Each structure stands twice: as structure tokens, then as C-alpha cells.
A = this chain, B = another copy of it.
Amino acid sequence: MRLAELSERSGVSTATIKYYLREGLLPPGRQINATTAEYDEGHLRRLRLVRALIQEGRVPVATAREVLGHVDDDSLGRTIRLGAALWALPQGPEPDEDDPSVIAARAEVDRLLELLGWETARELAALSPVHRSLVAAVATLRRLDHPWDAEQMAPYAELMHLVARRELDHMETRASDTEQVEAAVASTVLFQPVLRALHRLAQEEESARRYGIE
């Protein structure tokens, strides 16, 4: 397809597509003459992912470029590709290691992973930015007098594990490794607002069931 059709099918303006091409977020089309290039379904898919990252996930352009670099790196096994792409996404704030709340939170997170039997998460703890985000979030709760311990967090972690299993089941329905990693990145960025809204709606429903609405 030509640029105009790519723009129409994606709902992204030609000016924005040209910007993404210049920024290396979208691979160049196949040049058919000096002024015209041809794009395919892979470009459309990639364009939707770029859109998801930048517009919905509010990921900075340089970060999106890094994430997509991992998505495209087929020298890596799928887990490492997936992990690298997800780790490159913006994370929560970094924990301040001198803060006593952070030290206590790290101990609770360690206990949580042991309770859950999440062996890989324990092995990767020192490397994973996701692990650091969890420590920072738990430390904030502690500082504000909500000292959640490992036993209290475990059922939520199990629920999130069910969510993650369903997501990977869905991801595996995609054809290629690249499409699978693309789907996982899009799902992480786009599905979070859905989970958040479902969570609040469930609070509303449960609260009305327990206490009525008068």
C-alpha cells in the first residue's frame, strides 16, 4: 500500500508517519521510484504499536525506539526479547536504597517471592527494574502507614499471575515471535488502563452490594 492508504487504515496522519520514519520508529517502505514507497501489513502493525506506545502509553520517542529495537532483535530468544522490551518500558520511580522504608519493603518483597515460589523473579531480583518498582511502591505504602506484608500481598500476586497467564495464552495465538513480542508490549501498555478501570468499577459494585447506595 502507499503512504496515503497506510495513513487511512491506521488513522495516523501522513505527516506523523513521516516523522516516525525519520525517527526510525517505523522501518522504511520498499522504494518503488524516487518519490514513492510501498508499505505492507507489517508496517501497519508496527504503526499501531508505535501509536500505542507514544500516544496511549506516553512513552518518550527515545524510549519507544529502544523498546522497538528489542522487539526486532531476532538474535535473542523470545523470553529475553520479551523481557528486554518490557524492561525498556518506563517503570515506576527508583527506590532510594538509604531509606529505612525501602530496606523493610525489600525484605517483604523477598519474603513474598519465597512464599509464592517465584524462582525466576528471585533470581532476576538484582537486575529487574520491575522488581525495583515493586520495592519502591511497597516502600511508599509503608511510609504512609499502610505496612503491607508478604502474606497480605500474596493473594494479589496470585491474581496478577492468573492475569499474566491469560495474557501469554492470548499472545501465543499470534503467528511469529516478532508478532508475539509486539502483542505483549501493546498489551502491557494498553491493558493497564483497562485493568485499572475494571478495578475501580469492581470497587463501586462491591461497595454498593455491601452498603447499599442510599
Write the residues of chain A forming the contact surface with B, with a CB cutoff of 8 angstroms. 11, 45, 48-49, 51-52, 56, 77-80, 82-83, 86, 92, 118, 120-121, 123-124, 128, 130-131, 133-134, 136-138, 140-141, 143-146, 148, 152-153, 155-157, 159-168, 170, 184, 186-188, 190-214
Most chain B beta-carbon contacts within 10 A, residue among A52, A160, A165, A198: A198
Give which listed residue, B83, B92, B118, B204, contacts A130 with CB less than 8 A: B204
Q: What distance in Å separates the Cβ of A156 from its nearest Cβ neighbour in chain B? A: 6
Besides A130-B197, A137-B194, A160-B201, 19 new A-B residue pairs in contact (Cβ under 8 A), listed by A number = A56-B144, A79-B210, A82-B207, A83-B204, A83-B213, A86-B200, A86-B203, A121-B201, A121-B204, A137-B197, A144-B190, A148-B194, A153-B194, A156-B163, A156-B194, A159-B163, A161-B202, A164-B203, A165-B206
The complex is assembled from copies of this chain, and their number is 2
A to B CB contacts below 8 Å, 18 in the list: A49-B144, A56-B140, A92-B193, A92-B197, A130-B197, A133-B200, A136-B193, A141-B190, A146-B187, A146-B190, A156-B166, A157-B198, A161-B205, A164-B199, A164-B203, A164-B206, A167-B203, A192-B199
What's the Cα separation between A204 and B121 when bound, in Å? 7
Give the chain B neighbours of A138 by CB distance below 8 A. 194
